[in-house]
Amino acid sequence: MKKIFVLLLVGFFYTTTVNSNTDNSELYKKIDLFTEVLDKIRKEYVDEVDQSELIDDAINGALQSLDPYSAYMDSELFESMETDTKGEFGGLGIEVGMEAGVVKVVAPIDGTPASKAGVRAGDYIVKIDGEQVQGKSLMEAVKLMRGPVGSTIDLTIRRKGVKKAISKTIKREIIEIKSVDSKILKKNIGYLRLTAFNNNSSKQLVDEIKNIEKKEKTLGYILDLRNNPGGLLNQAINVTDFFLNEGEIVSTRGRKSHENRRFFAKKGDKVKGKPLIVLINNGSASASEIVAGALKDHKRAIILGSRTYGKGSVQSIIPLRNGGGIRITISKYYLPSGKSISEVGVTPDIFVDDDSDDFQINTETDSQLNYALKLLTT
């Protein structure tokens, strides 16, 4: 009850601070009101309240009223967030967002505890160690999922098409992200698996392409972006550029002039125009959607699989004086066609479902990969 009350108050406070039509005197009245309410909570609420925690909740409520991706991070979470983009962190190995007040799995990362336990993109986490997620902020839920390496966590999951709740017990591990993997498939088809867009991804990918080209005379490539939740924008631009000789890759538009940018490909297709198929699914988000959408718009690749997640915005992580930080949406990105993929996603050229019980990426049961391989070799 305390959480709901605070968030309602903060939503009221926040909207007044960003309304350019509200004069300063009215704004100060709202700030005074907010302070008064905090004081009343401190004095009158039935249980003793941690004032610091209450204000953290208020800040988070303001940010989360904007969109599902903006959030406040205390110093502990901020430090771990910085580690995430550098390629190593502790936890379960899932990218998550908020939807309808519960945690939604954007994608499990290959080879991590969550992936091995059978957590899927699109799953809803409704309880963490028996504690209801409803009413918590995204960062509070993330904090609950983190813990000492080797400790276990119980997740209660709801999955579309499954009536009963699914229980998963998962052991936390240090997550080392190897964002790129590759191999040569039958009939000399190069397979490139990209699971994240972190600082090293584009360099790793071009190195894998060079290694494949040295070993074999490839007939074509499969770029696998399934369950890739995204990451750094510049890495998505670099990866797309590897397969294009010219043309726009993506544009970003925001409130500030420096956030309105267009990015173009440089001459030099790393695979020399060889046939390319890009694999996507509902776990392909953000940076993955930039790559798939741009290659589709330029008709450089066949896009195969299922519709992507639909996250068409760019977040910036801004440090704060208290050692924490905020993640806030600063712009939206648009494909070369001018379309935004927010809430819509990228639609594949060829639909191939991945919802069978025995489906597993990059195995014999991988119907999407098998279909792509058939297209390139017949």
Is there a catalytic annotation at residue 297? yes
Please identify which of the residues 110, 297, 354, 366 carries the catalytic annotation. 297
Please identify which of the residues 179, 182, 286, 313 carries the catalytic annotation. 286
Please identify which of the residues 57, 74, 311, 366 carries the catalytic annotation. 311
Calpha distance 178→192 (Å, rounded): 12
Cβ count near 72 (within 10 Å): 24
Phi, psi of 207 (to 5 degrees): -65, -40
Mention every residue, 6+ apart, whose C-beta is less than 8 A from residue 170. 92, 113, 114, 117, 119, 152, 153, 155
Contacts 24+ apart (CB under 8 A), 116-121: 117/168, 117/169, 117/170, 118/168, 119/92, 119/94, 119/155, 119/157, 119/168, 119/170, 120/159, 120/283, 121/227, 121/281, 121/282, 121/283, 121/309
Amino acid at 140: E
Phi, psi of 252 (to 5 degrees): -120, 145
Calpha distance 41→341 (Å, rounded): 42
Question: Maximum distance among all alpha carbons in the chain?
Answer: 75
Is there a catalytic annotation at residue 286? yes
Q: Which string of DSSP letters, residue by residue, matches 306-373?
A: S------EEEEEEE-TTS-EEEEEEEEEE-TTS-B-TTT-PPPSEE----STT--TTSTT-HHHHHHH
Q: Which string of DSSP letters, residue by residue, matches 71-96?
A: EEE-HHHHHHHHHHHHTEEEE--EEE
Is there a catalytic annotation at residue 356? no
Q: In what order do the strands lie in the sheet with 220-224?
A: 180-185, 189-194, 220-224, 276-280, 302-305, 350-351
List active site positions: 286, 297, 311
